[in-house]
Structure 1
Amino acid sequence: MAAWYFLADTILSRLDAETAHGLALRTLKSGLLPGDGKPDPSSLSITVWGRHLPNPIGLAAGFDKNAEVPDALLGLGFGFVEIGSVTPRPQDGNPRPRLFRLAEDRGVINRMGFPGQGLEAARSRLAARPRRGFIGVNVGANKDSTDRAADYVACSVALAPYADYLVCNVSSPNTPGLRNLQGRTQLADLLRRVQDAIAMKPVPLVVKIAPDATDDDLDDIVSVCRDLRMDGIIVGNTTLSRPPSLRSGRRAETGGLSGAPLMTLSTGVLRRTAQRAEGQFPLIGCGGVGSGADAYAKIRAGASLVQLYSAMVYEGPPLIRRIKSELAALLARDGFASVADAIGADLR
């Protein structure tokens, strides 16, 4: 696979970032991309929400916005895949260009604005696929919605029957005012409405928060999630901050920053979230993961599962196997028989 991707990367790296993304989706649809059928080390298996996963490495939302290739992505070796964000109605998102590689920094800036084909397109694709693997569905709100909580409810009700877990994404920086939903009152109202709406067909429900959250923000968010007995938190989304270490000429572009420059910030917020959650629900660590050491740091900081996306822009599918191999070696080095044994090790 590595040799195949090296050839493909010579083409993709010369294209506009969003054009390259579209080509990657078409390649996955074609079935031409080799899969990875190699069994994972037994130490990587983990059980979350009563489901067994072969490994804790997942693909974050944003790549497969419209549920076009979840099975092809699982075939690359991910333990789980998250599609979306899905909004009730189709929308174009923000004007292009809106996706930028920061190659010198191994980062990405995006101001996509939830472009997508809408709820019905995603629902029809998910309904048509055989249920296999572990698929999360990330939902959001239309930019012009007058009742954003109602958007989350509509998407959750329609997609819950086809999801292994649902994600309320209240942390994208590219839909004006969306992050206001992270406030204590707004978040409690939104999550309670979604919980009530899916009560007849319950599915694990998690919320995705920003890595820019302050300690006061985390106090409110975790308190709400504990009070409502939520099933988890994803920490976190992209950041509006710009580390002074950024070298790329694209560093001043408007939008959310992801990739390697986000690793330290997002892992710190993950650790502080875990301290407040006290093991009441699983955490998913997201932001900056590009190696087994990065994934291990997230797990030791309190994550049960780990997600990545931006690093794939630079290394492609071979990265998945490398991360898993490195993670298994680190677990063995430190005497952990399984991922579960290492969760929160740095907090103990």
Structure 2
Amino acid sequence: MASWLNNMEKFKSLLAVTGCAVTMFVGVSIYNKNEKFYKKVAMPIIHLLDPETAHKLGIKLLKWGLVPKGNTTDSKLLETTLLRMKFRNPIGMAAGFDKHAEAVQGLSNCGFGFVEIGSVTPEPQEGNPKPRVFRLPEDKATINRYGFNSEGYSIVWSRLKKLREAKESDIIIGVNLGKNKNTEDAAEDYVNGIKTFSDVADYFVINVSSPNTPNLRTLQRKQKLEDLLAAINKIRESSNIKTPLFLKLAPDLSSQERQDIADVIQNNKTKVDGLILCNTTINRPNLINTNYENETGGLSGAPLNYISTTMISDMYKRTKGTIPIIGVGGVFSGEDALAKIKAGASLVQLYTSYTYYGPPIVSKIKTELNDLLKKEGYNSVADAVGKNNIIK
């Protein structure tokens, strides 16, 4: 009897997901690119599912080509070049959404200028027990404790290799690297990632800032970070790997920790090419929805916006504007994106806003950013970088 009930529950879940997929497909067909439709109909239907199921469904729809193309013909004003990479626009999908590189082409079709996949771990791992994702709609926020659930280097590399060989898209792809939960030698995991993905990645990200893997954030401490980056740079130099290297940091660092990191990454032996600011926060700043504030995990979305922008400004000053920054955290509008750019970010990523408003948010942010750049008299994205910062 228990087995029969269990099977019935699975069947109901299958019907729910399938029915939602059909509904979305019909909706997309009728309301192609309609922002109001997504806001009033499509996303509320998606949100009837639990957050992780909805996430998986979103990936499948993108993978199967059931999400309509967004505005992929961007104005010249939005084009920008960073570290020899030419971006059609500065708006990217942050890591954590397409963890296993299943939906890169679909995200490209939505109008993103670049996509960061991962975090990817060397060996497959399940991540933390479910439930591990929670919506806070009143706050336009999410709490997650996925814990680097990953299909592993081999499978993800195969997908990216196939995509590169198909040459369907020229979108820039970042590979965000993590470590397995039980790995003792973290450097070995990251070094293997650099070697594995060097032929398919446009840039690498060393993720030492997720709050959901035990002791991972300790790798941001000065000595540990020096040892890690020295090992990574050694293999980059010996293998002549020129792929740009970014370091993703947590927003919960003290002033001294930030200064230590700034010093480390400007040293020739332990340098990085860029920073990603920032990862999710373990703090719960002024939440309206307090139902989940005691859940462990990282908070993302609108509450992270100011925290992220302030950290961008701070690290831009600490590095005297010499280390390029990708800004991420609470980007819901063109105004949010420009604020991060003027604080010191050369590129901007989003994630949570996409899960709340769907694909139209990409074109919306790009249009608003383009209009704001024109209004404020900038000739390019690069012209606006760091304009709110005075470097002494």
TM range (shorter): over 0.9
State the Cα distance separating 1:188 from its structure 2 match.
1.3
Check conservation: 1:139, 1:155, Cα contact below 8 A. Answer: yes
Check conservation: 1:81, 1:135, Cα contact below 8 A. Answer: yes
State the Cα distance separating 1:196 from its structure 2 match.
1.6
Corresponding residue of 1:312: 354
Work out which of the residue numbers 188, 191, 202 in structure 2 matches 1:153.
191
Check conservation: 2:96, 2:119, Cα contact below 8 A. Answer: yes
Corresponding residue of 2:34: 2
Structure-2 separation of matches of 1:301 and 1:12: 34
Gap change, CA 1:73 and 1:195, over 3 Å in 2: same
Superposition CA RMSD, Å: 1.3
Matches within 5 A, 1:181-200: 181-199=219-237, 200=240
Structure-2 separation of matches of 1:326 and 1:191: 38
Check conservation: 1:139, 1:152, Cα contact below 8 A. Answer: yes
Q: Aligned AA for 2:281?
A: T
Check conservation: 1:170, 1:178, Cα contact below 8 A. Answer: yes
Structure-1 separation of matches of 2:333 and 2:294: 26
Structure-2 separation of matches of 1:5 and 1:21: 15
Corresponding residue of 2:262: 222
Corresponding residue of 1:129: 163
Deviations 1:180-234 (CA, angstroms, capped at 9, x unpaired): 0001111111112112223322200010000111211111111111113310000
Check conservation: 1:239, 1:258, Cα contact below 8 A. Answer: yes
Structure-2 separation of matches of 1:47 and 1:114: 30
Q: Secondary structure at the match of 1:168?
A: strand
Structure-2 separation of matches of 1:106 and 1:114: 23
Structure-2 separation of matches of 1:66 and 1:78: 18
Corresponding residue of 1:281: 323
State the Cα distance separating 1:52 from its structure 2 match.
1.4
Check conservation: 2:79, 2:89, Cα contact below 8 A. Answer: yes
Q: Aligned AA for 1:31?
A: G
Check conservation: 1:105, 1:248, Cα contact below 8 A. Answer: no
Structure-2 separation of matches of 1:144 and 1:229: 27
301-310 or 186-195, which moves further after superposition? 186-195
Stretches of structure 1 that go unaligned for 5 or more consecutive residues are none
Structure-1 separation of matches of 2:322 and 2:116: 22
If the length of structure 2 is used for normalisation, what is the TM-score? 0.86
Work out which of the residue numbers 215, 235, 246 in structure 2 matches 1:206.
246
Aligned residues: 348
Check conservation: 2:72, 2:109, Cα contact below 8 A. Answer: no
Structure-2 separation of matches of 1:246 and 1:174: 23
Q: Secondary structure at the match of 2:266?
A: helix
Check conservation: 2:316, 2:323, Cα contact below 8 A. Answer: no
Check conservation: 1:104, 1:248, Cα contact below 8 A. Answer: no
Check conservation: 1:302, 1:345, Cα contact below 8 A. Answer: yes
Structure-1 separation of matches of 2:184 and 2:72: 48
> How many percent of aligned residue pairs carry the same amino acid?
48
Q: Secondary structure at the match of 1:129?
A: helix
Deviations 1:129-182 (CA, angstroms, capped at 9, x unpaired): 125210000001000111111111111110121100000000000001000000
Query: Within the alignment, does 1:94 sit opposite 2:128 as a pair?
Result: yes
State the Cα distance separating 1:248 from its structure 2 match.
4.2
Query: Within the alignment, does 1:176 sit opposite 2:238 as a pair?
Result: no
Work out which of the residue numbers 310, 318, 343 in structure 1 matches 2:385.
343
Structure-2 separation of matches of 1:206 and 1:178: 17
Q: Secondary structure at the match of 1:345?
A: coil
State the Cα distance separating 1:127 from its structure 2 match.
1.1
Structure-2 separation of matches of 1:247 and 1:102: 6
Check conservation: 1:286, 1:307, Cα contact below 8 A. Answer: yes
Check conservation: 1:161, 1:201, Cα contact below 8 A. Answer: no
Corresponding residue of 2:364: 322
Work out which of the residue numbers 62, 66, 79 in structure 1 matches 2:113.
79
Matches within 5 A, 1:267-306: 267-306=309-348
Q: Secondary structure at the match of 2:115?
A: strand
Matches within 5 A, 1:221-240: 221-227=261-267, 228-240=270-282
Q: Secondary structure at the match of 1:101?
A: strand
Q: Aligned AA for 1:258?
A: S
Stretches of structure 2 that go unaligned for 5 or more consecutive residues are 1-32
Structure-2 separation of matches of 1:281 and 1:177: 26
Structure-2 separation of matches of 1:219 and 1:141: 25
